[in-house]
Structure 1
Amino acid sequence: MNIKDLLKEDSIILNEHSSNKEEVIDTLIDKHFECHHITDKEKFKQAIMAREKLSSTGIGHMIAIPHAQNETVKYPSLVAMVDKDGVDFDSLDKTPVKLIFMIAVPKEGGTNHLEILAELSQILMDDKIIKNLINAQTPKHFINILTSKLDIKNNKQENDKFDVVAVTACPTGIAHTYMAAKSLEETALKMGVKIKVETNGASGVKNKLTKKDIEHAKAVIIAADKKVEMTRFSNKNIIQVPVAEGIHEPQNLIEQAMNYNEEERLQKDKKKVEKSYKKIKNIYNHFMNGVSRLIPILMIYGIISQIMIMLGIDQSYYIYNDAELGWFMNLNLENIPWLAIMFSGCLFSAFIAESISEVPGFTVALFSSFIYMNHNLGIIGMIVIGFVSGYLVLGLKKLFSYIPELMDSLVPNYLLPLSGFAIMTIILTFLPQRAIDYQYQDQILVLSPILLIIIGFVLGAMMSIDMGGPINKIAYSIGIIGILLKRFDFMSAVMVAGMIPPIVIWLSIMVYPQLFNEKEKSGKWRCLVRGLCFVSEEAIPYMINDKRGIHFPCIIASGIAGSLSMFFGCSQMFPHGGIATLPFITKPHFFMISIFASTLIGMSFVLLFKKNTNNS
């Protein structure tokens, strides 16, 4: 399909201004009708407007190319119009349109309109041609300018080795696909670079890259806004950008391809991984903020609960008797643990949100959790509410940053909490009940003894793998969540395992001091005291300096301690305390047996591995 054959002098409108997009379309349709290209203006306009609803045909650079296939079109035809003042055409680059072409193709015309569109798009890549067309004095002059580049040979070289290969594609597969291809080809020609560009347009893949083309190229440029077949480019250097960059920055892309540095690519990939890791780490940090803030609350809950069990308190003991204070102040002692554990989930949610978006996030998450406690959300639901509330308030903060400065004072204490809570209420109200329902029951999940031993070993080993790092904190978090789920044995396994490494090191130094230097020996009593207090960090310097002789034995000993605690059925309702809380631990004698047994085993491994290491 050749532009020379389609565009005639009588189908060109020069120096006419329209007030809006529809008026431009009407004018061009009238011209099609005058030139006997179409038989029914109304039907053709319906087809044109239907195409415009999909996406604007204002392709940018002051150009618009409305087009349609319709039964009213007699044969493929083209009309053009110049509006020097410009008209708003909803262009992709938001600039007024001054140069408009309208393509008309019969319904059975196949891909004729796409071929015309592709040829036009490539011609109109030249800014000088656009300027000359807008300033054309006569229709003949207009046609000469438009067709002047048709005879220029492009840079396609069949059966040759290409320096660079490229693929261009856009979602609609029309103008931008071919504009990017033309831009890359013409720029490569000026730079003396051999390039082959595959276009992935609405009419299919054209100028398809062969295996040989790809093999010899230094790099592949993918200028696309839709999915492209990528498996064929494995082991090749790939520069992947939006299709717009192929149009506007071809020289930069070709230079990158010609000077592609593998080390730079690896650095970019590393930065992407680091960015993803940072996002995950932020989520982890927000979660751990909730865990750490919950610890003192659970301590009070656990200790009071255990004291009540030990004292056999099962009847009401009223702290307050003033009826005017209502039911909340007429608490009985046995309700305090119940209230603490009930509100712990809400506070956990609020503390997570606070870490994300400070006090407004805390407020929104807290009240959202309070209101929906009757849904029995469970700990998972509360965690989700915390994260959703936190990031919701963070988004609202950005939104409210656009309000006038005079109203800034209303944002933190009025607009953020109220709007955030309103949105959370709507979300939770319309969320299907089954999506959030979780029934707390007195029944506890029954696990087999073998599974208990395995879980205990895994949790215990995790406590000593990185000592205060992410793995350690995940294990500790599982223990805390276990309290909220009434699996109190998880927390005992975690605590005894965290106590073991410093105690193992203390005993090893006491039994065989020759294996340790003076500095290490000087810290033995600190290791014992800190270990008994469930402060594992005292062991870190020893474990870092000797992975084989200290670290690995401590991991094994902690795993054994966790297994023994779970097997013996030791349990606790509080998340800290060490030996100071021994009276409040269920089966405390077995808890101590777990410590003694695993410490002896750990010491044996330390003496064995450390002695062998020193002798080797």
Structure 2
Amino acid sequence: MELKDLFSKQISFFNADLKSKDEVIEFLSNNLEKEKYIKSTDDFKAAVYKRESEGSTGVGDGIGIPHVLNPTVQKSAIAFVKLKNKVDWQSLDDQPVDLVFMIMTNGKDGNEHLTALADLSGFLMKAEVQKKLRSAKSIKDVQNALTKEEQKVEKVEKSGSYDVIGITACPTGIAHTYMAQEKLEEYAKQKGLTVKIETQGRRGIENKLTQEDIDNAKVIILAHDKALEGLSRLNGKKVIDTNTKEAIFKGDQLIEKYKKGEGLTEVKASSDSSEVSEFTMRKFLDIKGNLLGGISRMLPFVVAGGIILGIAFLIDFAAGNGNAGGEFGTINPAAGWFAAIGKISMSMMVPILGAFIAFSIVGSQGLMPGMVAGLFSSNILGFGYAYDGDGNPIMNGWSGLWARLIPKNLQGSESGFIGAIIGGYLAALLVVGWSKAMLKFPKGLQGARDIVFIPVLSLLSISLTMFVINIPLGFIMGGISLGISELAQLNLLWLVSILIGFMMCVDMGGPINKIAYSLGNLAVGGKLVTDINAAGNAFNDQTIIMASAMLAGMLPPLMVAMSTIIFPRAWTAKDRDAAKANWLMGACFVSEGAIPFMVKDPKRVAVSAMAGGALIGGLVGALKIKLLASHGGVFVFPLLSSSYLENGSMNGGSIALGAGSAVLIVLGASFISAMILGLWRTADIKNGKLTLDATNGVKESILEKIESVKNNTKINNKEEKLTLLNKKLDNYSAFETELATKQKAYQAILEEKHKQREARKANK
């Protein structure tokens, strides 16, 4: 496939009057869907903006090359726009663009189109090609400017005799990889030097450097925006390690710097694995990214497990087992089958969290020790800490293996999410430590090192670490549980209910949430208030704790979903789309659906949820709403009842009051929390304290409506509607400009405060 074959008249536009980068993306996306090149405008735009967030596709010289690799693309192509006026594209050379090439592929139609796309990168680096494109008036002019005759490649015949060598790579492996290659080759040839540049792009490794090439080279440049493969080939060599932007715009300076011995680093890659060679302490500092890495992998286990557990409770209720107490959901054989599946899935939450936190830092080497840390934290392998009713270790075969090693007063216990988070980081740290300690292993033993030595030592060291830290972490969680059970014994269940509702919303599936939920489970089994003669009705009413825990746990995802609808401007388009799933997660009592939103905006999301959770707890306690099931969300609402109308057992009146009140309480509290969250975010956006990390979709929505009105021939008052929509667009553009000014001013204030703090530290 030739480069020109990827262009077509239907998706090529000349002198388009577009005013911004967002307008260009919107314009192209709509036309690509119209011409059946993509399936979904929304999915395509989301992919475009995701790539833009990784680094600008404005490559300089007034050219923008946004590119997408996504299943929504139906066939590989390049859309072209020559703009009437230049627009800001956050380009690498800080100059606006007037030529835009939208590259799209789904990755399924072979490598021939990737070859063509790589050719495009090389063509666009040439001044004569740029000139022809800017004077182009038709698709034929564009295709003529990008024919193979325009590209002349000079090759050095003798292998291993190159003056300049290098490796280039970018995240998508389509554009910047080949542009950096082209420019480095151009800079070297201008200096009369022979050159060979290896590319690690979407087509894999091409033009691979041999050991002879490396040993004989006078200049070595690594220009990459992602981890490189096979760095051990260069061990001991001095190189300039930089990014593709530097190679594209300052390649000649890099060559000169190398000759002067400036800015050189020595390659010390531990193996041919990019994962191992990229171990760096900087990855530990990306706390948000590491947490999201674990949480995103954990959520499917929570969502699926929670829904299936709800089915188990529903089956048992339908079978007449609603008063089974702590065994509810397991009495009917069919219910038990679903309950087992749900419990297995839910029990994997914490190990998966630990595993993928470690994975996000050190790659696949972190999976095993990270998962073991999570297993320790979740106490799935409870046989290690098996105790009898008096707290003595059960010493019977495989039971109580670890309990035998520690005194009774230091019994290990479950540390939950907090243990998995800490354990995931510690596992990654141990993998890095052992990898660096074995850096100089003989070449013949490197395979055994990665497959045997590092995994074995990582397993032993993380196990010993978690064995120790689980003791203090377990005591922290145990102390909280003991305090709440004492309040229940004093007939202060209403206060406990408020506290439980509050705790369920503090970290939305984290350790504090799990403590509150565990207390609810104890109440369902009659093990929170164990004295049947306790003051008042504390023993009989203790399942109020479970009702408070479940209803408050439903609030965070519902709050987020409501807020994105009520306050669309306060959320990105991606956030609003992701929040749609929160309706189901909230209904099924899967609090973890709100965690990704809390990680991005911890203060506002958590505080808003805690206010609603405490309100739910207070109302549940006041109405004495009880729940006999430990999970299930809306599936177990028929099991809610109010002890005000009970006469020894559940009846129609008590269920009606309990279930009906619960619906109103959850929806009302979620609405109040959504209002707090939305108003708070809106206020902070307006004063510059909060900046959305992507478009909120408002401008795109207006532009879409304008385009729809323009193309609709059946509208009578078309001009009036277009005038109104354009006015809305102008107002929103002015609003965005004002926001940008306020955000810059707020950032300046923060920078000044930071400088003052640093100055005070220096004076001390």
Normalising TM by the smaller chain, what interval? 0.3 to 0.5
Rg: which structure is higher? 1
- Name the TM-score, length of structure 1 as normaliser: 0.39
